[in-house]
Amino acid sequence: MLSVLVTNAQEKFADGIICTVDYNEYGLTFITENWICFTKSEDRNTLMFSRYENNSWTKPIIAPFSGVYPDEYPRFDRTTSRLFFASKRPSENDKIKASNDIWYVELKNDMWSKPIHLEGNFSTNGIESGAESSNGIIYFHSDRKGKGLNDVDIYSLPLGATEDSAKYISVSSEKVDGEPYIFNNGNAMLFMSAGHNTVGNGDIFLTLFENDEWTTPTPVDTTGKVNTIDWEYSPVLSPDLKTLYFTRYVNGQADIFQIDVKLLSNKELQNIANLN
């Protein structure tokens, strides 16, 4: 399993291959245990693929549906074989966007479909990004309550319910909240937040879905291994839930880090990982 590659502390993920000194890398998702997609910021934000072969990750290549317009924050749903992502690409009969909308592609017979735009109340004139699919529900972040970074909150909306109002997720704070990662059959969520008494600019939190509501968020770690004075965001777990991957932004440089869940102080997250 990929988890055995993680040492006793957080470390850059595939340093020199995935993480580079010249560009920003962030927003990792697993398509399979040995196939990943992530965002690379070069001339524009672009979705990249890499596979784990011969005990190493291959040199990233541009995803066949990316590279023309700014794309970022991929999330793959294994149930539907859909890869959701944020993009400023124009929808039909439209112009390139000033902010992100949510799109997805479908994987069928090892081929990716053309990008499909989520319309209706999935897409406003503001930001929609960080989409995650679980049990037919799309979780995403949006600034639809206002304008500015602190108005970015987490919402949910059933896939296909384009005319319904998006549901505000109560764990959202007075600061920026986003990039939800849903797991454990829809009963747990990791997300980034600049609220909830963060130790830095933005930290990663865990919340559980119990009694039809999300519990009070708790930091994934309080020992400085993950949450620091810098920005931490884009959390995701390995397919076996044993390894946490996240992005850290320091002095203009974004890199993806990894750490064994056993090394984190959050016992609830450890318990979920141990059950898998």
* Phi/psi-derived region of residue 68, left when phi > 0, alpha when psi is between -120 and 50, beta in every other case: alpha
User: Which pLDDT belongs to residue 5?
Assistant: 47
Q: List, as one string, the DSSP characters of the chain.
A: -GGGG--SS-EETTBTTTB-SSSEEEEEEEEETTEEEEEEESSSEEEEEEEEETTEEPPPEE-TT-SSS-EEEEEEETTTTEEEEEE----TT----SS-EEEEEEEETTEEPPPEE--GGG--SS-EEEEEEETTEEEEEE-TTSSSGGG-EEEEEETT-TTSPPEEPTT--SS-EEEEEEETTTTEEEEEES-SS-SSSBEEEEEEEETTEEPPPEES-SSSSS--SSEEEEEEE-TTS-EEEEEEEETTEEEEEEEEGGGSS-HHHHHHHHT-
User: Which pLDDT belongs to residue 149?
Assistant: 65
Report, as ranges of residue numbers, the positions in the chain whose pLDDT lies below 70: 1-8, 146-149, 162-163, 276
User: Which pLDDT belongs to residue 8?
Assistant: 54
| Tens of pLDDT, residues 12-57 | 999 999 999 999 999 999 999 999 999 999 888 999 999 999 999 9
Distance spanning both ends of the chain, measured CA to CA: 13
Output the domain CATH number for residue 164.
2.120.10.30
Total domains, the chain: 1
User: Which pLDDT belongs to residue 147?
Assistant: 63
Domain that holds residue 30: 2-274
User: Which pLDDT belongs to residue 6?
Assistant: 46
